[in-house]
């Protein structure tokens, strides 16, 4: 691109602090918001659970999906405002998705999406073969967390970013073969490539 | 010249991880063995500081017997990394190696592992694989 960047100079943040913060966000929602909580004592893993405990753990999972996804959504919206300032206007959904796969992913996750598939009916499948935020995850008993829990936040980011660029969509993530993960973007609009502004 | 085994203790004396490579004498009662190891190191560290001619914290780097050398590295958080090697480990500063294990393996694969519960045993395969790889590549292996 021949245009000069007008965004201010980049400042850097230590990646460890971001990684640890992201881990804690998920743990906070899964294990509850009590001080000095002990995961071994939470009711989510109990065999004999009463109604309150079951409701509690379901609520937590729901809270995880909704709240953390929501957090990612807000972050994604602001992030895309900042990152796409110098980019040309994107006309079609495909251009938006390609921008997300290349420039946005490069800025946010330090690499580009490896495989992009579409069924041409509004569904895009983004495959990242080594997703940065879960590449250190490895099953360690006892743990009630799963790798998927840590993908709700990035899925929210992608969702917020795309919505801000004018594409109404939902995003889900799958980590069946971590560290490879797959983000599925379902576009809510009728399957025609041009967007209304 | 080889490495025999590796222990990782937390500040409460719980053995978080143990790995062995070339150990001919097997441990019979692992819990007792860990208590013995931790207690010994605790006292050893105390002795080293108290009997030191200089007024400064003086943790041991290693101790040596005719058949093995025990290398020690601890962090301010109470984590203790122990490596047992043969006595002819050469000039390599194995305590420095342990520090590398802490920085490259423990920090990356345990602390930053989202699925790890702080304070629990380390059962993650990624950690044991990486540790194995690093130890096998040591000059003193």
Quote the CA–CA distance of A37 and A33 in Å, as a whole number: 8
The whole-number pLDDT of residue B7 equals 93
| Closest among B15, B58, B69 to B39, alpha carbons compared | B15
% residues pLDDT > 90 (chain A)? 22
Looking at residue A188, the DSSP 8-state letter turns out to be: -
The whole-number pLDDT of residue A44 equals 46
Its CATH class, for the domain covering B3-136, is alpha beta
- CA neighbours within 13 Å on the CB side: how many for B50? 6
Whether A138 sits inside 8 A of B108 (CB atoms) is no
What pTM value is reported for the model? 0.78
Judging contacts by C-beta atoms under 8 Å, the chain A residues touching residue B112 are 16, 19-20, 23, 136
The whole-number pLDDT of residue A2 equals 46
Per-residue pLDDT of chain B (141 residues; tens, 9 = 90+): 788 999 999 989 899 999 998 888 888 888 999 999 999 999 999 888 888 888 777 788 888 999 889 999 989 888 999 999 988 887 677 888 888 889 889 998 999 998 888 888 898 888 999 999 998 988 877
**How far away is chain B from the Cα of A187, in angstroms, using its nearest Cα?**
30
Residue found under tokens 């990486």:
B130
Angle at B114 between CA A77 and CA A113, to 5 degrees: 50
Asked if A181 and A105 count as a contact pair (C-beta separation under 8 A), the reply is no
Quote the CA–CA distance of A131 and A180 in Å, as a whole number: 6
Mutating which of A21, A136, A137, A148 best tests the B interface, going by the most B Cβ atoms within 10 A?
A: A136
pLDDT at A49 over 50: no
pLDDT at A46 over 90: no
The whole-number pLDDT of residue A50 equals 47
pLDDT band at A53 (very low <50, low <70, confident <90, very high): low
Which of A16, A23, A138 minimises the CB distance to B125? A138
* Domains observed in chain A: 15-36+49-187 (3.30.1380.20)
Quote the CA–CA distance of A162 and A79 in Å, as a whole number: 11
For CA atoms B82, B84, B87, B89, give the dihedral sign: negative
Average pLDDT on A94-98 reads 89
Judging contacts by C-beta atoms under 8 Å, the chain B residues touching residue A22 are 114
pLDDT tens for each residue of A131-156: 888 888 888 777 778 888 889 999 99
Judging contacts by C-beta atoms under 8 Å, the chain A residues touching residue B127 are 138, 140
pLDDT tens for each residue of A150-187: 899 999 999 999 999 888 899 999 888 878 899 999 98
Looking at residue B87, the DSSP 8-state letter turns out to be: S
Mutating which of A44, A140, A142 best tests the B interface, going by the most B Cβ atoms within 10 A?
A: A140
Residues 6+ apart with CB under 8 A from A158: A72, A76, A100, A126, A171, A183, A185
Cα–Cα distances (Å) from A175 to A128, A150, B88, in that order, read 10, 9, 46
Chain B residues with at least one Cβ partner in A under 8 Å: 108-117, 120-127
Quote the CA–CA distance of B135 and B141 in Å, as a whole number: 7
Domain ranges of chain B: 3-136
Asked if B48 and B39 count as a contact pair (C-beta separation under 8 A), the reply is no
The whole-number pLDDT of residue A142 equals 72
Which of B114, B117, B120 minimises the CB distance to A137? B114
Looking at residue B98, the DSSP 8-state letter turns out to be: H
**How far away is chain A from the Cα of B114, in angstroms, using its nearest Cα?**
5
Determine the residue of chain B that is closest to A139 in CA distance.
B124
Average pLDDT on A93-99 reads 89
Q: A110 is written with which tokens?
A: 């330090």
The whole-number pLDDT of residue A156 equals 93
Determine the residue of chain B that is closest to A16 in CA distance.
B112
Q: A152 is written with which tokens?
A: 């709700």
Quote the CA–CA distance of A73 and A181 in Å, as a whole number: 19
pLDDT tens for each residue of A10-30: 778 888 898 899 988 888 877
**How far away is chain A from the Cα of B34, in angstroms, using its nearest Cα?**
21
Angle between helices A15-31 and A152-164 in degrees, nearest 10: 110
């Amino acid at each position: 691109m021949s245009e000069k960047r007008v965004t201010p100079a980049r400042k850097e943040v230590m990646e460890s602090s971001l990684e640890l913060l992201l881990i804690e966000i998920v743990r906070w929602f899964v294990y509850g918001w009590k001080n000095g909580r002990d995961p071994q004592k939470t009711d989510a893993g109990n065999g004999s659970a009463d109604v309150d405990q079951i409701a509690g753990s379901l609520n937590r999972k729901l809270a995880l999906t909704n709240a953390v996804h929501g957090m990612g959504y807000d972050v994604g919206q602001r992030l895309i405002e900042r990152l796409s300032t110098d980019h040309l206007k994107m006309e079609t959904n495909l251009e938006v998705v390609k921008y997300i796969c290349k420039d946005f992913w490069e800025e946010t996750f330090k690499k580009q999406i490896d495989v992009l598939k579409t069924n041409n009916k509004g569904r895009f499948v983004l495959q990242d073969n080594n997703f940065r935020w879960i590449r250190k995850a490895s099953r360690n008993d006892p743990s009630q967390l799963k790798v998927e829990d840590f993908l709700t936040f990035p899925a929210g980011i992608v969702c917020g970013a795309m919505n801000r660029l004018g594409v109404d969509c939902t995003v889900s993530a799958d980590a069946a073969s971590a560290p490879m993960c797959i983000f599925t973007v379902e576009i809510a609009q009728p399957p025609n490539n041009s967007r209304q502004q | 010249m080889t490495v025999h085994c590796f222990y990782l203790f937390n500040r409460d004396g719980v053995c978080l991880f143990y790995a062995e490579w070339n150990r001919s004498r097997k441990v019979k009662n692992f819990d007792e063995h860990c208590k013995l190891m931790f207690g010994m190191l605790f006292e050893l560290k105390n002795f080293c500081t108290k009997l030191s001619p200089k007024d400064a914290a003086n943790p041991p780097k290693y101790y040596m017997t005719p058949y093995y050398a025990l290398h020690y590295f601890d962090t301010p958080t109470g984590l203790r990394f122990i490596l047992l090697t043969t006595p002819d480990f050469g000039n390599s500063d194995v305590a420095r190696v342990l520090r590398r294990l802490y920085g490259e393996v423990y920090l990356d694969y345990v602390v930053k592992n989202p699925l790890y519960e702080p304070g629990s045993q380390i059962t993650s395969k990624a950690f044991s694989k990486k540790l194995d790889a690093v130890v096998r590549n040591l000059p003193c292996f």
